[in-house]
Structure 1
Amino acid sequence: MASSEATPVEEEVTECGLCRNAVSSFCRQCKVNLCDSCIPNHLRAKSKTGHVIINFTTKYDDDDSCYCESHPQYECSSYCKTCEVPICLHCTAHKSHQISELSDKIEELIKVIARESDKLQSFRHQLETVLDHTTKQLSSLPSFYQKRKDEVTAKGQEWYRQIEKTVKNLHQELDDLKKENKAVLLKQKGEIEKMIGTAVEMIRKATNIQTSKNVKQMEKFKQEIAQQETLKEFTQYTFPTFHECKIDGHYLQTYFGYIEKMKQRKMSLSENKFIPDTDSGRKVLEVPSVSSVIDTGFPANKNSNRLYGMTVTDDQKVWMGGNSYELKLFDLQGHLHRAVTTTDQGMFICMYNKQVVYSDMNNKGVKKISDDDTVVTMFKTGDWTPVGITGSASGDLLVCLNKGDQSKVVRYSSTGTVLQEIQYDSQCQPLYQYAWYIAENVNGDIIVTDFKKKMAIAVDGLGIFRYTYSGKSNDDDHSVATDSVGHVYVTEYKGNNIHMLDRDGRFLRYIIPEGGIKYPRSVCMIGDGEMIVGEEKTGLAKRIKFLEEQYRFVQWLPV
């Protein structure tokens, strides 16, 4: 049985319109196909419009008309969907095929071409944006690197001043010791000279009396010379010694600073993902604005404290803990989405593997809230009380632990395996008195606020001391947070402000929003140029915009 499906017409060889040879050219005026041998005869033929001979393969390039491949002298009026070619009224071979109006096909093609053209236009604009940024980066390259050199030079000059000050202090100490040393030696010299003088006098008397026969004088001198004091011991003074410390180049650079290498980040042009350039000149708003306020509704204790810990989820919601055995999940508009009963107050919480984790001080452990709102113990901390807690870029948990007068930071795996302990500096002195809140910076620094020392203390990822920051008023430092370019933010509880530092702990400025903040405790970054700050006594969480609008690519790489 023959198939009822129509089959495409086999491709035919286009012939010359004057003979049966293969076509090579086309007369645009006469609309006739020509072979090479027929061109001279055709040009000699009379024509009212003349002759225009063009290459057959390009005959449609500059002509809006669509001529039939099989019948070049006729314009196409239909479209064969089976063969996917335009046809004219004389194309009888396509009668059994699926035919549509040529205008419908043209309209379809115009839509496709317009859509692709729009995509290409968008792609061009995106490339121009990247080109503009790359060009600006190139033009700012000399000034940028000179600025970095100036920073290194300034650090070196600071060290020179510190070294000169140290040398001056040691010189002064030596001068003072020299005076003290001279004084005691002169005193000792005088005492010894006096004793020698007395001994010489007694020896002279003893020599003279030995020739005398006066027994009474001899008896008297015998008692006198027997009572003469002799020196059984004396004090020997040694000169001071300069104990030169060996300079370790690696240790020196750790304290001096280091150059963070150029970063590369693959970014898709189809995604509007921008992050701020670290040196884009982006400024902090003179008066940061409060875009929304969330009333957490936590009750007050006897000290009127309500709101404690906060942490931000990937989908821009905020878990909050306060003066109750409950954690609450709010969106940034203040709508409550979840409320979970816990085994301790939510003073110290963080996000870890997309789940909220908190320190259970009552039961000395770290716990998480599962997807079904049940509390799961991750691991115990022995006889140490866990407080500040944060996830790290390495996928571990950093926890502040306190026991009596001891304090430390411990890096745990998800199963509670101790991976690292940070407790002492290079001189074996305790780093912390009472580690409180904790955050990890983009360069790997671990920043801890110390409740008793009233300062922020930073170490690098290896636990080597980096810097301390005690603020301008040495007031209470509570929570700490960092942003995507390495800035550090510390809340000053009684000072009612937030300190903005660079990644090396240098003060940049205060963040005080319009209307102010009262008793700020917890702080979290919620996006580019925005933070959310919790007021402990009011129970309000304020969303603060503090950076001016400005977005740039860091670097674009094809994906």
Structure 2
Amino acid sequence: MAQAQDVILCQYCEETAASSFCVPCGDEICPRCKPFHLKSKVPSGHNVIPISGRTDPCNTIKMCEIHGTKPYEVCCEECELPLCILCVEESHGKHSIGKLKDLYEKQKDTMLGELSQITQEFIPLVIENLEDMKSNKLEVKQRHANMREKMKEHADQAIALITSTLNDKIKESLKEEKKEEDIILQHEGNLEIFLQQLHEVIQKYENLTNIDHPANLIMYRKQNPDVKLKIILPSKLELTPSSFTPGQLVNINQFGRVITSKINYYSMNTKKVFSPPKRNSSTKKVKTRYVSKKKNAFTKNISNLGLYYNTLLPKPKKVYEINLHCTGNTLYDISCVDDKKAYIYGGDYRILLIDISGNRLAEVHTITEPSDLAVMNDETVIYSGKKSRRIFRVSPCNETTEFTDTEYEPSGLCCTKSGDVLVCMGHKSTAKIVRYNSRGEKIDEIQYDMYGNKLYDEPRFVSENVNGDICVIDWTFPDITKVVDEHGFLRWTYDGNIKINQFVSFTPRGIATDSLGHVLISDIFNSAVHLINQDGHFISCILKQINGILRPCCIAVDKSDNMWVAEKEDTSIKVFKYLS
């Protein structure tokens, strides 16, 4: 029965098995009916083939998409397209025309080769990549679970440290309370004894004046002519109460940050990294990059609850006073080469190299009036042109070249320990700190905080700290000092502690750092130099104790941690030692 079902009967007699197939008509025909079928007329003519070729795609008919009444019969070998008779006449008459089957077989072989590659190469690669993604998904969940656990452990350590510090402070308070109570009790006892003695004197006087014989009074006065003068009242105890001044705990943003993952897409064929397309630089909004070093800032700063800086001298000691007679009315900047020499300029077109005796060792005639200067690691001097939007480099052999041109007017300069140059530039919405390498190529800029808000209004002075922090004096209203880490993440700000120190205002006009990470800020209006630690905690106004320092303007720190200070409208430089 199965074999009988596979037999195809002739469509005409419906009795005999069909042995032929007419392609244009689509009829199955037996040998007896074949002659009658060929006598019938059709527009395209008959094409009878063996019944076994009935399922061959080449033996099917497909009508032309352009000329719907004509079938595809041949092909254009140049265009590699199937054609009907009208296509050949209209568009491909001058082309090489071939058999449709030959082009079909050629393209079929090519596609079978591609199919084999897709099946044997691409499918396994995609399946392998899919398995990796499933595995990575589990790894991501586990990694983030571990990261959250680490955050909790970090928080627990901070809480434990706070608790331990709190217990120490409580013990210190209890000890101080016991000491104060003992002092008060002792003084109270002395006062009670003295009061008793006064009552005895009163009783003696009352007896002599009211009861005793007059001779006794006269004899007592003879022996004690002025008892009142001999009575020395005990001292009054004035106890200044203990108090607690909260230390500035680390900003909560310094607890730590989640460093976001970096995702690259690789071609599975070439293993090549595809970089994301760059945005148009003209519309690009440059923002701060938020990649920070892993550091336990909370643990490092919690000690500031009761930290004593025993490296600070009780009073700064003046070691040199350099009198200059070769500058203008005031000095605008000092940049130390070492602890014996420094470059200075004072409001004209000259930059001078002087020593601690005031001798002029070299003189640079600038192309334009400088707005700031700095000394690079190889003792090359750079200075910013006040209105030229250019920065110039002066080699040790006094050869001047252009370091770079800038987008906006440059002001404050700083040469970093890595050899880069930090430049303050811009105003209001364009204000930023730009980093150049030693060749004058811009490599980074800091303009916005992590929320996209502008960091600066008018950055005027800049200095790099030993931990890589960038310390900037921003001329806002009121002025403020802002410190970001080397990647541009805002760490802390300082407004002069105006309320604590009862200053009228904070007018910073110079900034420097030393080898211990202190930040020194000259405050011209208050005639002081503020000393801040590298985490933003106020230590002292170290020049407030010194007579004769008025309106400190520019400030620098040399390699021996000596502080060089110049006063406004004075051409002398005073050098102080402030660390033990």
Query: TM bucket by the smaller chain?
Result: 0.3 to 0.5
Q: Which has the higher helix share?
A: 2
Question: Using CA pairs below 8 Å that are at least 6 residues apart, which structure has the higher relative contact order?
Answer: 1
User: Rg: which structure is higher?
Assistant: 2
TM-score in terms of structure 1 length = 0.48
